[in-house]
């Protein structure tokens, strides 16, 4: 448990502020490592079950489960990150009330979770889990519903495996392409979706700077495809630089190292030679 000064309410305030600092520090660390924001989002229960295929479910009743095994949520909540740290001050009043009660030794009601393999997803009790994490507790009582799946869930771990496997979905959340654009923008290596998303967002940021107005993600995605992706890919094709890669892979290969040339659509023999050799 976190340090106790003997004043539960004051300690609860400190607990909350400490959890918020850690959440912000995590965002800064992800930014420094150029990781997509999505790595801090809880694993989505519905998508995990959809990926594995649901076979049946069973009520296991009241169990003691480890905090470490709680990796996601049934709800698509953004109030807490993947480690159940609060992402804003909106939950502060309720959070601190629960933290103070826990520090006073009051009985906290069990949470409700779904179990997939060894992983647990919260359906009710997000605040209680967040407080338990902040106070350094290792276990919590929970009413558990076991989900049996067609595919063994052992390959999914809570440290990012599901997100790595589903980077295209994450990319399309960040860059909501539609219709033909959605089908044409594909990469062979799922990891490249994160890098491509960063390029699109950087392009959109510069576009907003140039035009002096805010543009939503859907507008940025549409304009990036029409004004950036299509003309650049057309030139790559005419220069016979697509190769065996997808058009998006070819675009990314160029964009990653020669963004200035993409923006100006200017070419020279050295660039062509470098691209053919990459």
**What digits encode the pLDDT tens for the residues 154-189?**
767 644 566 555 677 678 889 999 989 988 998 888
Report the pLDDT value the prediction gives residue 111, as an integer from 0 to 100.
Answer: 97
Report how far residue 228's alpha carbon sits from residue 221's, in angstroms, rounded to the nearest whole number: 10
Domains of the chain: 8-156 (3.90.1530.10), 166-277 (no CATH)
| CB-count exposure of residue 254 (10 Å: 0-12, 13-18, 19+) | buried
CA distance 152 to 156: 9
Question: Residue 266: phi, psi to the nearest 5?
Answer: -115, 140
The reported pLDDT for the residue numbered 168 is 74
- What is the rounded average pLDDT of the residues 142-159? 79
Q: What confidence tens digit (pLDDT) does each residue in 71-86 have? A: 889 987 888 988 898 9
C-beta neighbour count of 55 within 10 angstroms: 10
**pLDDT confidence of 190, banded at 50, 70, 90?**
confident
Q: How many CB atoms lie within 10 A of CB 100?
A: 19
Q: Evaluate whether 96 touches 13 at the Cβ level (below 8 Å).
A: yes
Q: According to the model, what pLDDT value does residue 161 have? A: 62
The whole model's pTM is what?
0.56
Q: Above pLDDT 90, what percent of the chain?
A: 43
DSSP 123: E
Token digits for 198? 């960063």
| Assigned token pair, 123 | 């359906």
The pLDDT, as a whole number, for residue 70 is: 93
User: Using alpha carbons only, how large is the chain's radius of gyration in Å?
Assistant: 23
Q: Is 15 exposed, middle or buried (0-12, 13-18, 19+ CB in 10 A)?
A: buried
CA distance 28 to 134: 19
239: confidence class by pLDDT, cuts 50, 70, 90: confident
């Amino acid at each position: 448990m976190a340090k106790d000064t003997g004043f539960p309410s004051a300690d609860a305030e400190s607990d909350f502020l400490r959890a918020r600092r850690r959440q912000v520090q995590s965002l800064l660390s992800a930014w420094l490592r150029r990781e997509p924001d999505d790595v801090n989002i809880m694993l989505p229960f519905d998508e995990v079950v959809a990926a594995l295929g649901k076979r049946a479910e069973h009520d296991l009743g009241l169990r003691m489960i480890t905090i470490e095994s709680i990796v996601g949520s049934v709800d698509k909540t953004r109030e807490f990150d993947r480690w159940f740290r609060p992402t804003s001050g909106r939950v502060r009043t309720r959070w601190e009330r629960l933290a103070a009660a826990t520090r006073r030794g009051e009985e906290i009601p069990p949470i409700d979770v779904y179990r997939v393999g060894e992983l647990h997803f919260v359906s009710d009790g997000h605040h209680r889990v967040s407080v338990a994490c902040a106070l350094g507790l290792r276990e919590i009582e929970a009413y558990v519903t076991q989900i049996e799946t067609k595919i063994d869930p052992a390959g999914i771990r809570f440290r990012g495996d599901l997100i790595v496997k589903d980077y295209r979905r994450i990319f399309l959340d960040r860059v909501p392409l539609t219709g033909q654009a959605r089908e044409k923008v594909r990469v062979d290596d799922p990891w490249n979706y994160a890098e491509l998303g960063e390029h699109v967002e950087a392009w959109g940021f510069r576009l907003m700077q140039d035009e002096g107005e805010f543009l939503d993600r859907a507008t940025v995605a549409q304009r990036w495809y029409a004004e950036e992706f299509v003309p650049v890919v057309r030139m790559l094709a005419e220069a016979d630089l697509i190769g065996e890669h997808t058009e998006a892979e070819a675009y990314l290969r160029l964009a990653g190292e020669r963004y200035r040339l993409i923006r100006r659509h200017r070419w020279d023999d050295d660039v062509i030679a470098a691209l053919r050799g990459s």
